[in-house]
Structure 1
């Protein structure tokens, strides 16, 4: 039986009285509340919901017990961090607890955990011009790409895009449809994303196994032979329809399929309470202009900051 060596989080002296432990599944609500408070402070709106957290935590390659840490003031969660596959970090500090060195300690912890798990680069997205961005820059991180959250102004909709003759948009019917959709999604995103291919099980953890999932949320574009050639995944939360994934097979591009999927996803989501429409894209995709052209406007800017990891970052257990 193999065990993973724990990575201790060493808090600064002016964080005396706070305690640490790994996160548990029961902490999903508290992490959502913490991240929501940070988003409200830094970008003026709450984007996260608990299903996002639960979906991420149920990915097969993620071990919450050995790849996360919580910082508590009594029973209250005031900061946390996690690192997925030695590369992808998330961390947050309650706005009321900033300025005590907790964020710096979490940065050191994420590097140490990434080093333990064989990573060579670790980073995370943070809001542009936020305290988190300034902290990471001061710690030697570098910005790798920029992301934008875009929304459709109230009362406006994307002009309809006809679906080509013989093509259709439908829901998935079975696992074969899900696997075909996963393939289209992964193939498209791996054209520009510097990561390894997600397994089907990892993909379904945040799509069809995401808490609250219903088949109408996954929109499949099929060709005249009923092969899946495009997909969109839409989530409705607090009256907002958010397109979380949108992809079209490379050989099927230039037919207006992506725009047709986008229009369809927002229309279907509206029938399920999504009165507002949002999505995100980043500078690696080159898609910002496309979304702006259909009338969407940038509502917040995020940047992915990352730092090199070396074996020197490994922290010996206490």
Structure 2
């Protein structure tokens, strides 16, 4: 199908990063009421070694203004949106078809996107016949509330990332834990590093390890602080050390570290593949946003 008259398209370039941020920020305000994305998120995504910006992205322009965009990671995960002022013109349907074509060209068989429940994107995917996948939620510690500390098992400690080997250990802990999820593609160290230790502004305190009495790193948390929010982006505990309170101890520690670095509220996200929602609700967090993954065969 063709784009509406007056619009052009081309692959995105690194110089489009700020326009991409502004586009997604405007869409988030319209869909959820607040901005969650940061410019550093765009930079981290676009510097992943396995992501080809020229082949796996598209921008739709009206004159010089970016009014819609999409990218497809590993032929499976799409991030796409249309500026709120330009919805209802058929641009979203064009972008959705481009996403399918891109996935197919890159060897994919299934592609999808996680979008806010009740958003225009969800209605679009429903109309296109996509099917649902996992659910996701954003949870917060309510203002004025606190999560009770979880004592570490005897002999265990929590510490910052220190050495280069720590980086690979953090990656492996996350990769092993997250690989237990169904419908989850493996991640290479370079792609993980692009969004964590190589993310603009990264500091070693953002990655904290749970260490057993023998000095082995058995759990990890990665936290981002932005606009007064401490966001726990990754939390993982080695399978043979679960059930000892390490995840909760790392969670409380991450929130405390975030507060020490300027955060006034605490958030994280989880999805139905992890089974962790009851844990977070049990420690006093509450759901503030709900998302749904929509996918289609290509």
* TM-score bracket relative to the smaller structure: over 0.9
Matched, 1:211 2:205: no
Instruction: Determine the structure 2 residue equivalent to 1:278.
Output: 267
Instruction: Determine the structure 2 residue equivalent to 1:150.
Output: 139
TM-score (norm 2): 0.98
Q: Distance in 2 between matches of 1:208 and 1:150?
A: 24
- Greater alpha carbon shift after TM alignment, 24-33 vs 279-288: 24-33
Residue among 227, 237, 244 paired with 1:255: 244
SS in 1 for 2:193: helix
Q: Unmatched 5+ residue regions in structure 2?
A: none
SS in 2 for 1:173: coil
Matched, 1:129 2:123: no
- Superposition CA RMSD, Å: 0.9
TM-score (norm 1): 0.92
SS in 2 for 1:241: strand
Q: Distance in 2 between matches of 1:71 and 1:11?
A: 12
Q: Unmatched 5+ residue regions in structure 1?
A: 1-9, 310-318
Q: Distance in 2 between matches of 1:250 and 1:11?
A: 50
Residue among 23, 38, 43 paired with 1:34: 23
Q: Tell me which stretches of 4 or more aligned residues in structure 1 moved more than 6 Å.
A: none
Q: How far 1:303 sits from its partner (Å)?
A: 0.6
Q: Report if the CA contact (8 A) 1:163-1:257 is conserved.
A: yes
Q: Report if the CA contact (8 A) 1:11-1:102 is conserved.
A: no
Instruction: Determine the structure 2 residue equivalent to 1:314.
Output: none
SS in 2 for 1:16: coil
Residue among 40, 50, 68 paired with 1:61: 50
Q: Report if the CA contact (8 A) 1:55-1:206 is conserved.
A: yes
Residue among 94, 99, 103 paired with 1:105: 94
SS in 2 for 1:203: helix
Q: Report if the CA contact (8 A) 1:222-1:228 is conserved.
A: yes
Aligned residue pair count: 298
Matched, 1:85 2:50: no
